[in-house]
Structure 1
């Protein structure tokens, strides 16, 4: 499928993924480097050159990236699961029996207490994975409430398992629960989450998203996902 007259979707996705990977490597290096002031200033100058090159052509905040499809839960620059995001680990979320899950290793860029993951990062990851559970169940909504129970600190640089599953669904509201645990001890949660997702009424969707367009300039509002929502089937 063509993105424009010259760029193939697969080619663009590969390039976005390559840049995202390089930027994540840069971020990780930037928070662990011990080079001196001269090296830091030289790196900053080169980074600004890259920024200027990328800024030559930019989309507006009301236009989705060419590869995005919110109804499919495909957001290439999402700060948790986006392959093109310098902020994302990124998580690859998949369907499993009863819900969704994802593995993650969170490194130094996500540090809070020394050697442990920032609590806000745990909340961000769980918000995303609980949302994915709603999509995998054929539902759509926005976070109405999210409550976290921090049982133990989440270690950096360690394989983690993140899980979520839909509980009760009534009308526009759905309850979802999830957890972060060590991959080697998946049934001993380090952080537990529960929340309620609410599907906006049509008038609210219009008010919130009326200005949003896809890359071709066509209106693109979030809506209930179909059977091809891009939370992949897992094993």
Structure 2
């Protein structure tokens, strides 16, 4: 175990490698046009691999050994998790052009809604994460109380886009957030405009929500600031 990084680097590398492979498999599964027999063979192999992974599993309230909610490290987040088969994953960093955060991505056919375009629900998932991370960067951690999206135009798949989020207003435990999705090649033309309200839970609510959480060893250790947000990437 590395005392400097706070996690086992060999395990992190293996989880990341598996996540990359699974994301590649998911992408291939929605693009392939191979015959039914090939699909059935791959399905049988996938079931065998799932059985191997289920040899050791965790319960719902048990954190993965690589996770650190206080440091905002969530390796299986469906948006930013390097170990998640469904995450793009987004690499969110401080925005050089403003006070908030930014991420660039290109979304594949596994995220398709209208033919050739991003599913509208995916926009909500992605931007909820972006707004939450921007709030954390501003020292305003909270849980999503309200999220609204104004769809000005469809987000094309297999096309670079830029996602931004920032704090719009602060008031007590409430933080009003704003954000957007635009084409990387035309960042001033907003395709999705987003607003949200995040509320920092009271202590009794934190206990009710997260009181059963344990660490990977099973020790009762509910986080004081449980979140699905991720650390900012410092590299540009």
TM-score, length of structure 2 as denominator length: 0.92
CA deviation after TM superposition for structure 1 residue 17, in Å: 0.5
Question: Which runs of no fewer than 5 residues in structure 2 stay unpaired?
Answer: none
Q: Summarize the Cα distance change of 1:36–1:222 in structure 2 as closer, same or farther, 3 Å threshold.
A: farther
Aligned to 2:26: 27
Aligned to 1:192, what secondary structure does the other structure show? Answer: strand
Q: Say whether 1:91 aligns with 2:83.
A: no
Aligned to 1:220: 222
Return structure 1 stretches of 4+ with deviation > 3 angstroms: none
Aligned to 1:195: 196
Would the aligned equivalents of 1:73 and 1:135 in 2 still touch at CA under 8 Å?
no
Q: Kindly tell me the number of residue pairs found equivalent between the two proteins.
A: 228
Would the aligned equivalents of 2:210 and 2:226 in 1 still touch at CA under 8 Å?
no
CA deviation after TM superposition for structure 1 residue 67, in Å: 1.1
Q: Summarize the Cα distance change of 1:121–1:203 in structure 2 as closer, same or farther, 3 Å threshold.
A: same
Distance in 1, matches of 2:31 and 2:216, equals: 37
Q: Note the 1:72-83 alignment, pairs <5 A.
A: 72-83=71-82
TM-score, length of structure 1 as denominator length: 0.93
Q: Say whether 1:135 aligns with 2:136.
A: yes
The CA RMSD measured in Å over matched residues stands at 1.6
Aligned to 1:124: 125
Distance in 2, matches of 1:222 and 1:124, equals: 24
Would the aligned equivalents of 2:212 and 2:220 in 1 still touch at CA under 8 Å?
no
Aligned to 1:65: 64
Q: Note the 1:28-43 alignment, pairs <5 A.
A: 28-43=27-42
Aligned to 2:113, what secondary structure does the other structure show? Answer: coil
